């Protein structure tokens, strides 16, 4: 029997949608993700539409750093992707201006070439492979141009704007994978049929989990907890909980106390990484802590870190797939992840405490709220004084508690759940 496959379609705009697609590429015929905005043979007219959107977002994200006027410009932009208050519950199915704009472009042919190419590829397999989109626009395109296979859309934030849902959601056949109950219930308010919503959890990289028994994840967390609870404050209270879920802890961790700071796709907030390194400089020299800076794929961010931090480990790659591979490997011996509340918020399920840098955009406000509600994220204090507050958090057991909260409360098996649903239906 031929192993079942699927097309995974993303966009290379920022890191979020591509990071979400990464663990799913194992389901594709060639182990590759298709980027709807950057594939071989994309029509120039389609590419221009995508490019104008990407450049505008990156410009606004960087422009935000300019005092007063930058924040004002970003807040105006953010209004178009703003997530409305959840309460009181009400019908939110009416399409917004941004949804109407997207569909007007699609109805004029935007994305038709991509969908037609996938139809042709299907003929080689003599079966209509399902599409898994990690961005809503390719899912809309597939439905509008009558893609014959199943269409799935993976939600990559804890809550989402109306832009994620079709013009007439009650009639749409797009099925959604929700990372949490907030996103699931929001989709219902937007008019998506209940049978088209699956609560799966976020698709985390299996190289950080192992099998569904989570043997890799648990091994990493056992070593991490030793570093996060040096005075055993958390362990004294929750020894039974830890050992019931993870087994006995080793006598020593397999790595030194390590913190990673990760920038977003637009390279914003790189200054925070420099500030925390400078604050921890003496402890880094004495070997009391190690800092890793995740620069992504932007050379200017890597250069900025090199110029301002000295001999600090930097994770960088020329292409996004190599970067994610390095990032995931390094994450296994990271104790604290410091980042803005992007899709990386869901990595708290790996037993990773998150120090939350200021959110950028409405969806990140909700990701932050989700982390704080779980108890696995904590707001950053002034980065200039990291050496003071970070060790207060460590010695109190607060970061160990956050690690266990993420592990216990967030769904860890999203990739496995998505696979089960797709290939059962497919």
Query: CATH number of the domain that 73 lies in?
Result: 3.40.50
For the residues 289-302, what does the mean pLDDT come to? Answer: 96
Question: Do 125 and 188 touch, CB atoms closer than 8 A?
Answer: no
- Whether residues 397 and 419 share a domain: the answer is no
Residue pair 223/333 in contact by the 8 Å Cβ criterion? yes
Question: How far apart are alpha carbons 178 and 182 in whole angstroms?
Answer: 8
The answer to whether residue 215 scores a pLDDT higher than 80 is yes
pLDDT of residue 424: 85
If DSSP codes are grouped into helix, strand and coil, which group holds residue 148? coil
Among 172, 138, 134, which Cα is nearest to 155's? Answer: 134
> pLDDT > 70: what percent of the chain?
92
**pTM given for the model:** 0.93
pLDDT digits (tens, 9 = 90+) for 332-384: 999 999 999 999 999 999 999 999 999 988 899 999 999 999 999 999 999 99
Specify whether 183 is located in the same domain as 56: yes
Domain count, the chain: 2
One domain, residues 195 and 236 = no
Both 268 and 394 in a single domain? yes
Q: Are 184 and 206 in contact (CB under 8 A)?
A: no
Residues 152 and 220 in one domain: no
> Is residue 36 pLDDT above 70, yes or no?
yes
Residues 187 and 47 in one domain: yes
Structural domain harbouring 176: 7-202+414-425
Domain assignment of residue 2, yes or no: no
Q: Are residues 38 and 145 in the same domain?
A: yes
**pLDDT for residue 136:** 97
The predicted model gives 52-59 an average pLDDT of: 64
Mean pLDDT on 254-262: 98
- Residue 1's pLDDT is 32
Q: What is the mean pLDDT of residues 378-403?
A: 98
pLDDT of residue 53: 73
Which pLDDT does position 72 carry in this prediction? Answer: 56
The pLDDT assigned to 2 comes to 47
User: Are residue 221 and residue 170 in the same domain, yes or no?
Assistant: no
- Is the separation of the CB atoms in 248 and 219 below 8 Å? no
pLDDT tens across 177-204, in order?
Answer: 999 999 999 999 999 999 999 999 999 9
Residue 56: the pLDDT is 55
Residues 256 and 388 placed together within one structural domain of the fold: yes
The three-point CA angle 160-56-67 to 5° equals 90
Examine the domain organization and report whether 65 and 83 are in the same domain.
yes
197 shares its domain with 212? no
Mean of pLDDT values over 46-72: 67
């Amino acid at each position: 029997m031929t192993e079942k496959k699927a097309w995974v379609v993303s966009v290379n705009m920022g890191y979020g949608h591509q990071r979400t697609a990464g663990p799913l590429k194992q389901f594709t015929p060639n182990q590759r993700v298709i980027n709807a905005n950057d594939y071989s043979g994309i029509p120039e007219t389609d590419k221009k539409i995508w490019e104008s959107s990407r450049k505008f977002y990156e410009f606004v994200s960087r422009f935000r750093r300019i005092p007063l006027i930058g924040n004002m410009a970003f807040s105006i932009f953010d209004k178009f992707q703003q997530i409305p208050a959840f309460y009181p519950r009400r019908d939110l199915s009416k399409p917004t201006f941004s949804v109407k704009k997207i569909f007007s472009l699609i109805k004029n042919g935007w994305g038709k070439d991509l969908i037609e190419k996938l139809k042709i590829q299907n003929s080689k397999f003599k079966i209509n492979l399902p599409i898994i989109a990690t961005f809503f626009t390719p899912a809309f395109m597939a439905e509008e141009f009558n893609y014959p296979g199943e269409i799935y859309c993976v939600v990559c934030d804890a809550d989402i704007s109306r832009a994620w849902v079709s013009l007439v959601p009650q009639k749409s056949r797009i099925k959604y994978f929700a990372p949490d109950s907030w996103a699931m219930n929001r989709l219902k308010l937007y008019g998506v049929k209940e049978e088209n919503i699956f609560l799966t959890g976020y698709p985390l990289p299996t190289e950080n989990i192992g099998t569904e028994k989570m043997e890799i994840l648990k091994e990493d967390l056992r070593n991490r907890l030793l570093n996060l609870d040096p005075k055993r404050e958390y362990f004294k209270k929750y020894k039974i909980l830890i050992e019931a879920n993870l087994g006995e802890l080793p006598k020593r961790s397999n790595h030194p106390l390590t913190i990673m700071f990760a920038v977003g796709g637009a390279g914003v907030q790189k200054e925070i990484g420099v500030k925390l390194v400078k604050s921890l400089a003496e402890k880094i020299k004495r070997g009391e802590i190690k800092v890793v800076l995740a620069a992504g794929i932007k050379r200017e961010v890597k250069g900025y870190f090199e110029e301002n931090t000295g001999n600090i480990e930097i994770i960088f790659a020329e292409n996004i797939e190599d970067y994610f591979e390095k990032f995931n490997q390094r994450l296994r011996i990271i104790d604290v992840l410091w980042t803005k509340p992007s899709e990386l918020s869901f990595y708290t399920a790996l037993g990773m405490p998150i120090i939350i840098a200021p959110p950028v955009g409405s969806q990140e406000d909700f990701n932050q709220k989700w982390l704080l509600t779980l108890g696995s994220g904590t707001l950053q204090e002034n980065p200039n004084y990291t050496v003071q507050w970070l060790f207060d958090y460590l010695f109190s057991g607060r970061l160990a508690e956050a690690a266990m909260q993420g592990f216990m409360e967030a769904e860890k098996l999203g990739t496995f759940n998505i696979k089960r649903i797709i290939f059962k239906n497919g």
